[in-house]
């Protein structure tokens, strides 16, 4: 009701209506509780629009100055919380009403040649630009935390897994780095999403272009866009840039969820590979002994939620003719939620990563001599046994070890020699776990040098001095 009254006092439209909107229709129609946060962007676009009108000789210098001063007052009011609990339909109506309070009817002049369709399309692109910058900072910061942990974890060897089965020994640093590279790709996707949003909508009017001959090229530079959208009907109905951003966010969320899943597993009693800092572990209300990895579990859960936001945005334009439709108002809850939730999750995961402690003894204890089977097969292959045959022979050796009830490395020489005469010597020369890891020294492998090279490469890419080919 309060809102209908506000509308009766100050309406953007309604000349052709005799009565106000029905209360329940109005509740459905209102977007202010969600879009109020676009006010800084709406003001920025409003100032640029006022100047463009002046440049097009639609406002004289006095009226321009009054509008700009009015917008300054509006900004102060909004900074002081004027949007909170305001009765208006949306952020655009709110700002117009506030401006009307300061400059009177002149507020209406600002709407010359402008529509909420090109306004919201502009505001949202400006908002996404800020969101990309904020997300990029957080993603980079998590990648740096992984880099720092990895640099401390070169000496530590643990089982590397595929299919959840112990496969080959690897360095702890190497595992952490495997979670950092996806974040590098994510930054590339964020940059690409920002690129999609670099088309200027303002001046598109409602759908057909502005009736005022504003200089859109000037507006474009003024608002920091890269180019003017070539088609007004398209740009007012285009939310691809938001969908691109939420796709990037969705994939970031999945990457963080995978990291979180692995670390939650390693924090379990059964693995015990890592210890979480007190600040990032939670207790149980019932079981006094519990130390739960809630931060990682929540990070995993947010992955589901953010993909839900992506689905919303992917569905929204489905079947819509070109141009603006009110369906598009539903873009904001999904877009804002995806970005908000990631900005909530990333710093917590970064903190949890930065403060966790590896437990090298537990990692080492989980190493099983069977994980040296590949080294033995490689050894035979190096002695010109075709790898398929070598694979079968070591498979036999594994079976013998199991029937004899001894670790693979302790199969008696005489028994091993029956499988292949070179095996006793190969078994004797296997060396330490480190020696095994060092045998995988190709680029991208987990030998010390390969890991150090990766650390250096990641550092370069993260501080922007890399080649950019990773993105
Ligand atoms: N609140 C609207 C939205 O977010 C603003 C655009 C309204 N345009 C219109 N023609 N009613 O989509």
Active site residue 163: yes
pLDDT at residue number 466? 60
Which parts of 129-273 are beta strand (E)?
157-162, 165-171, 199-200, 227-228
Write the CA distances from 381 to 252, 369, 412, 419, integer angstroms. Answer: 41, 19, 21, 14
> Torsions phi, psi of 381, nearest 5?
-60, -35
User: How far is it, in rounded angstroms, from Cα 36 to Cα 458?
Assistant: 39
pLDDT band at residue 1 using 50, 70 and 90 as cut-offs: very low
Q: What would the mean pLDDT of 201-205 be, rounded to a whole number?
A: 96
pLDDT at residue number 283? 80
Catalogue the long-range contacts made by 446-452 (C-beta closer than 8 Å, 24 or more residues apart).
446/160, 446/170, 446/171, 446/174, 448/154, 448/171, 451/150, 451/154, 451/171, 451/173, 451/174, 451/177, 452/154
For residue 350, how far is its CA from the centre of ligand 1 (angstroms)?
37
Please tell me the residue having the least CA distance from ligand 1 atom 12.
329
Among the listed residues 103, 82, 101, the one whose alpha carbon sits nearest the alpha carbon of residue 36: 82
| pLDDT tens column, 34-72 | 999 999 999 999 999 999 999 999 999 999 999 999 999
User: How far is it, in rounded angstroms, from Cα 107 to Cα 101?
Assistant: 9
* 272 backbone φψ class: left, alpha, beta (φ>0; ψ -120 to 50): left
Q: What would the mean pLDDT of 78-87 be, rounded to a whole number?
A: 96
Write the CA distances from 55 to 44, 49, 107, 114, integer angstroms. Answer: 17, 10, 18, 15
* Annotated active-site residue in 18, 31, 147, 163: 163
Residue 3 reports pLDDT greater than 50? no
Residue 404 reports pLDDT greater than 80? yes
* Annotated active-site residue in 18, 115, 147, 284: 284
Please tell me the residue having the least CA distance from ligand 1 atom 7.
116
């Amino acid at each position: 009701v309060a809102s209908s009254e506000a509308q009766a006092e100050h309406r953007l439209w309604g000349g052709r209506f005799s009565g106000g909107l029905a209360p329940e229709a109005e509740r459905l129609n209102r977007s202010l509780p969600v879009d109020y946060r676009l006010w800084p962007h709406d003001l920025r676009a409003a100032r640029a629009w006022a100047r463009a009108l002046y440049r097009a000789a639609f406002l004289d210098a006095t009226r321009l100055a009054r509008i700009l001063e009015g917008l300054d007052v509006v900004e102060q009011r909004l900074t002081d919380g004027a949007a909170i609990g305001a009765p208006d339909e949306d952020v655009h109506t709110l700002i117009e009403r506030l401006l009307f309070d300061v400059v009177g009817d002149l507020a209406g002049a600002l709407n010359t040649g402008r529509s909420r369709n090109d306004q919201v399309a502009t505001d949202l692109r400006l908002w996404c630009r800020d969101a990309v910058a904020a997300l990029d900072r957080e993603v980079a910061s998590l990648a740096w935390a992984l880099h720092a942990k990895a640099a401390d974890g070169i000496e530590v060897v643990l089982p590397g897994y595929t299919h959840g089965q112990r496969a080959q020994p690897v360095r702890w640093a190497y595992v952490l780095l495997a979670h950092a590279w996806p974040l590098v790709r994510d930054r590339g996707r964020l940059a690409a999403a920002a690129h999609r949003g670099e088309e200027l909508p303002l001046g598109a009017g409602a759908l057909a272009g502005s009736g005022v001959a504003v200089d859109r090229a000037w507006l474009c530079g003024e608002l920091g866009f890269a180019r003017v959208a070539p088609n007004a009907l398209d740009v007012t109905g285009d939310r691809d840039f938001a969908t691109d951003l939420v796709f990037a966010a969705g994939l970031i969320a999945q990457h963080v969820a995978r990291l979180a899943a692995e670390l939650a597993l390693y924090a379990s009693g059964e693995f015990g590979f890592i210890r979480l800092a007190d600040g990032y572990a939670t207790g149980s209300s019932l079981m006094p002994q519990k130390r739960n990895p809630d931060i990682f579990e929540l990070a995993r859960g947010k992955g589901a939620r953010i993909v839900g936001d992506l689905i919303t945005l992917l569905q929204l334009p489905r079947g819509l003719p070109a141009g603006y439709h009110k369906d598009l108002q539903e873009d904001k809850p999904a877009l804002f939620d995806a970005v908000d939730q990631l900005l909530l999750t990333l710093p917590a995961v970064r903190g949890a990563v930065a403060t966790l402690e590896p437990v090298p003894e537990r990692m080492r204890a989980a190493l099983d001599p069977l994980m040296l089977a590949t080294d033995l097969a490689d050894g035979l292959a190096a002695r010109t046994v075709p790898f398929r045959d070598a694979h079968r022979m070591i498979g036999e050796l594994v079976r013998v070890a199991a029937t004899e009830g001894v670790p693979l490395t302790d199969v008696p020489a005489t028994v091993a020699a029956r499988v292949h005469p070179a095996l006793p010597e190969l078994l004797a020369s296997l060396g330490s776990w480190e020696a095994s890891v060092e045998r995988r020294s190709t680029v991208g492998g987990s030998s010390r040098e390969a890991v150090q090279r990766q650390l250096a490469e990641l550092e370069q890419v993260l501080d922007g001095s890399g080649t950019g080919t990773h993105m």
